Structure 1
Amino acid sequence: MDARPLIGTTTNNHHQRRRRVAGKSSQQPKRQQSFSRAAAETYLVTRLSFTLLRYLGVGYRWITRLVALACYALFLMPGFLQVAYHYFFSRQVHRSIVYGDQPRNRLDLYLPTNRDGPKPVVVFVTGGAWIIGYKAWGSLLGLQLAERDIIVACLDYRNFPQGTISDMVKDVSLGISFVCNNIAEYGGDPNRIYLMGQSAGAHISACALLEQAIKESGGKESITWSVSQLKAYFGLSGGYNLFNLVDHFHNRGLYRSIFLSIMEGEESFEQFSPEVRIKDPSSRDAALLLPPIILFHGTSDYSIPSDASKNFVDGLKQVGAEAELILYKGKTHTDLFLQDPLRGGKDDLFDHLLAVIHAGDKEALAKDAMAPPRKRLVPEVLLRLARHISPF
């Protein structure tokens, strides 16, 4: 009997087993790195949470708000679980890309499945009262905009007490710089970049934008990105004048002493109040460099009243900047960002964003018009209960 075929078969099987083992071993380090990164982030957030509790104390008001927050999250959990699944397992989401050397200098990228040509880009800065902001809070917006051929970069940044307002502004500016200089590698169009922030993220991103414009108008400091690279700024439910907000926040549980610690004392209020700073005669040249600014706000927002956006738009117009305010009657602080997107179907804010970002792109606008209604993620009864109990 000729043994050569048996030897060849044995050798081939041996090589196949080696390839399978090698493939598993190459995947194993990636999984270990992912688990290690998740463990490190979990430890960091837990440690900062305990540090934060020492600042806040555990009074009656904070306990009731924490209970309300837990119930609010429970009612919206069917939607959160679906979004979380895509966030962790979709190949369209590139998580924790490093943009700087400070803690939490990370961003998440949401990429469209369609890669036929450079895509417009939205740099998004999440809210969280300067205390609980996290890049994953923007996953719902990121996934939904990616479905419409828009790349979204959700920035993480140091929260209090890990950092104060100047650290947050520096982190966000560094993240914007990273996107402006590197997004082409991910299929983004560096000539179609939009900056957007929500709540505290709107305040931080507005500070970063104005600070950059002031640097450029002075011409004295080197810059790594330019406001001219931004097509527009979107501010959602933001506050832009700290002098007007400190008492309001104190009455809602973000006590004056904590707020002053976050904002580095009352002496820093002017520097970190875009509405005030834009009216300073020394900032007039910077105002002319700003991109078009569009602010969105709900009239039933009790966390940050809609007058905050109205006053900022009025101040911008007074100094010659291009600004627009869009109010949504009866909408709360979280309706525009959470409940409405989770409800699915037509969404006026989402449609407005698409109209601005895709302006001039007839093919993209036609696709938007033909796109199927967005899927409902949470039953209406749970959305209504969540709205009723929301602590925001």
Structure 2
Amino acid sequence: MFREVFRNLAVMMSTAVAIPYTIAILCNVLYGWPMSRDRLKDSLSVKKVCALNFAVIQQMKLLKYVSLYVRWKCFYKYFDSSHLVKDIPFGRNEKQLDVYVPAGRHRHDSPKPVLIYIFGGGWSSGDKSMCGLVCSQIANQIGTVVCCPNYSLYPQGCVDDMIQDVVDSISWVHNNIDMYGGDKEKIMLVGHSAGAHLSVMAVLELLHDRLMAGREDFPHSEAADKNAFYFEDQHYDLVSCSYEEKQNSETADSFCIVNSVNMNEMGHEPMDVDTPESDAGQGIGHIAATEEAQSLQFHMDADGEDDCSDNDSVVTVRPKDSDTGPSLSDMCKSIKAIIGLAGVYHIKDHYEHEKLRGLEDVSCMHRAMYGEDHFKRFSPTVIIMSMKRNIKLPKMVLVHGTEDYVVPLSSSTKFGEVLTDIFADVSVRVIPDCDHYSIFLDLMSQDRRLHDVIMGIILETARRVF
């Protein structure tokens, strides 16, 4: 009898060890091993194996969205072609985009504002087809023409190729959206996760010359330090670091090679934070921008033509036909707002978060960013830290859920603080009981729990800027 008990215990213990390590090995085989010399040892450390398996268990929660997956697949395949034009080619990387037209639109109606939706997927997965329900809901409820482009995914492309594709989609809108009843002078970008990162980076790329001319070291502000509001969910272990880029990317130089700044010397303006209103009386979180920020309008000098060369910029922000394509100034003027849904804005911070989850090696992020040496140049938070306060940006609305374990809430709150410090028009909306996936998937149907809250934020932003 005791032998049987010991035998069962031995089997259970060996199973408890074998299964987690098998999962860890499979993940590394499928997605990549550590770059270190002792990569087998590093990948099979007890701490990392446990963290990776916990992350895998967390991903099992996505099974609850199976029915929604079937719905968006069927919707995209059978949706009325009079309200959706699929697979329109654009850009130098020969990608395709879809255009969604609001129901009830007539040929003689006045032009509608345009919303460009950039999907997420960790810079390595995703497709415009999975956004059909979301884009259709936005088009009909907000009354905009919605464009949803595909972009280069790793390993077919790296982050500069992705930024190029987003910029090219904006250029395409300028040249062609009037044929679909859209107003090229009223554009709003909405991105989820990696899509939010690419949306912000695309706008910063369009502003390349302005940003390069406006870099400075921030002076220390004792008054701001005394009144600074710190979010409890944010990392504030600020250390002095040099933002000097050591190496160019494989395609071109980046405007993100910024000056050396001591982050401890940066002052912060006070910000007010609330949480969304639910049935219990909670309200949508909002970081109130300063009065100066609220009065700022995103515009460029009428006589100023922004121009960037291949040698200055991450990407060549020019359409294929430079003679007929819009200028950088035209594209900048037309972008009225950016809404980031659970966005990644500081690549190094996100990499450290992936380490805690045991995912830094299986994730494609560090490869898509050309390695750790280039994290700073592709981090909007780091770029904005080095900018002067008179740089004018579109209205920024950063939406994040409190239960997001994929991209922590601190990603948005930290970026919000940096934007507020340069007097940008920014608000951070914190949604309770919302995770990384529901912030996007709940937009697909009006019967989803958070649909009205998130759609309400998009509608409110559209009314303010259009």
Normalised to the residue count of structure 2, the TM-score between the two structures is 0.60
Aligned counterpart in structure 2 of residue 89 of structure 1, from 59, 72, 78: 78
The equivalent residue for 2:125 is 132
The equivalent residue for 2:32 is 55
Inter-CA distance 162–360: structure 2 relative to 1 (3 Å threshold): closer
The equivalent residue for 1:162 is 156
- Contact kept in structure 2, 1:180 and 1:193, CA below 8 Å: no
Amino acid at match of 2:121: G
- Contact kept in structure 1, 2:52 and 2:357, CA below 8 Å: no
Inter-CA distance 96–53: structure 2 relative to 1 (3 Å threshold): farther
In 1: Cα distance, 2:72 partner to 2:383 partner: 38
The equivalent residue for 2:377 is 271
Query: What is the deviation of 1:100?
Result: 1.7
Q: Deviations over 1:336-360 (max 9, x none)?
A: 2114644447611101211221348
Bigger fraction of residues in helix: 1
Tell me whether 1:357 sits opposite 2:462 in the alignment.
yes
The equivalent residue for 2:391 is 288
Q: Deviations over 1:254-275 (max 9, x none)?
A: 3258432121122211210011
- Contact kept in structure 2, 1:110 and 1:142, CA below 8 Å: yes
Query: What is the deviation of 1:304?
Result: 0.7
Inter-CA distance 111–62: structure 2 relative to 1 (3 Å threshold): farther
In 1: Cα distance, 2:125 partner to 2:428 partner: 27
Q: Which runs of 5+ in 2 are unaligned?
A: 1-26, 35-42, 214-305, 310-317, 319-325
The equivalent residue for 1:80 is 69
- Contact kept in structure 2, 1:246 and 1:256, CA below 8 Å: no
In 1: Cα distance, 2:132 partner to 2:33 partner: 28
Query: What is the deviation of 1:94?
Result: 1.4
Aligned counterpart in structure 2 of residue 101 of structure 1, from 79, 92, 98: 92
- Contact kept in structure 1, 2:115 and 2:145, CA below 8 Å: yes
Tell me whether 1:338 sits opposite 2:437 in the alignment.
no
Aligned counterpart in structure 2 of residue 144 of structure 1, from 137, 147, 150: 137
Inter-CA distance 179–72: structure 2 relative to 1 (3 Å threshold): farther
In 1: Cα distance, 2:111 partner to 2:366 partner: 43
Q: Which runs of 5+ in 1 are unaligned?
A: 1-49, 362-392
Amino acid at match of 1:144: Q
Aligned counterpart in structure 2 of residue 307 of structure 1, from 410, 415, 418: 410
The equivalent residue for 1:221 is 308
- Contact kept in structure 1, 2:52 and 2:359, CA below 8 Å: no
The equivalent residue for 2:234 is none
In 1: Cα distance, 2:178 partner to 2:209 partner: 25
In 2: Cα distance, 1:359 partner to 1:274 partner: 24
Where 1:102 maps in the other structure, the secondary structure is coil
Identity of aligned residues (%): 30
Amino acid at match of 2:74: Y
Query: What is the deviation of 1:331?
Result: 1.2
Query: What is the deviation of 1:330?
Result: 2.2
- Contact kept in structure 2, 1:237 and 1:309, CA below 8 Å: yes
Where 2:337 maps in the other structure, the secondary structure is strand
Tell me whether 1:329 sits opposite 2:416 in the alignment.
no
Amino acid at match of 1:99: F
Where 2:184 maps in the other structure, the secondary structure is strand
- Contact kept in structure 2, 1:191 and 1:229, CA below 8 Å: yes
- Contact kept in structure 2, 1:292 and 1:323, CA below 8 Å: yes
In 2: Cα distance, 1:65 partner to 1:180 partner: 42
Query: What is the deviation of 1:113?
Result: 2.1
Where 2:338 maps in the other structure, the secondary structure is strand
Tell me whether 1:240 sits opposite 2:345 in the alignment.
yes
Query: What is the deviation of 1:141?
Result: 1.4
In 1: Cα distance, 2:458 partner to 2:152 partner: 27
In 2: Cα distance, 1:229 partner to 1:144 partner: 23
- Contact kept in structure 2, 1:99 and 1:175, CA below 8 Å: yes
Instruction: Indicate the RMSD between aligned Cα atoms, in angstroms.
Output: 2.9
Inter-CA distance 83–137: structure 2 relative to 1 (3 Å threshold): closer
Higher relative contact order (CA 8 A, sep 6+): 2
In 1: Cα distance, 2:164 partner to 2:77 partner: 28
Q: Deviations over 1:55-93 (max 9, x none)?
A: 369997878867875x55553233332332221222122
Query: What is the deviation of 1:248?
Result: 0.8
- Contact kept in structure 1, 2:120 and 2:126, CA below 8 Å: yes
Amino acid at match of 2:160: S
In 2: Cα distance, 1:358 partner to 1:320 partner: 22
The equivalent residue for 1:114 is 104
The equivalent residue for 1:319 is 422
Tell me whether 1:261 sits opposite 2:367 in the alignment.
yes
In 2: Cα distance, 1:278 partner to 1:246 partner: 19
Query: What is the deviation of 1:150?
Result: 1.7
In 1: Cα distance, 2:378 partner to 2:136 partner: 31
Normalised to the residue count of structure 1, the TM-score between the two structures is 0.70
In 1: Cα distance, 2:365 partner to 2:71 partner: 34
Q: Deviations over 1:272-313 (max 9, x none)?
A: 001111111xx327x623111111001111111111111111
Inter-CA distance 333–55: structure 2 relative to 1 (3 Å threshold): same
Amino acid at match of 1:221: C
Amino acid at match of 1:118: P
Aligned counterpart in structure 2 of residue 153 of structure 1, from 119, 127, 147: 147
Q: Deviations over 1:231-272 (max 9, x none)?
A: 111011011111211121133243258432121122211210
Amino acid at match of 2:99: L
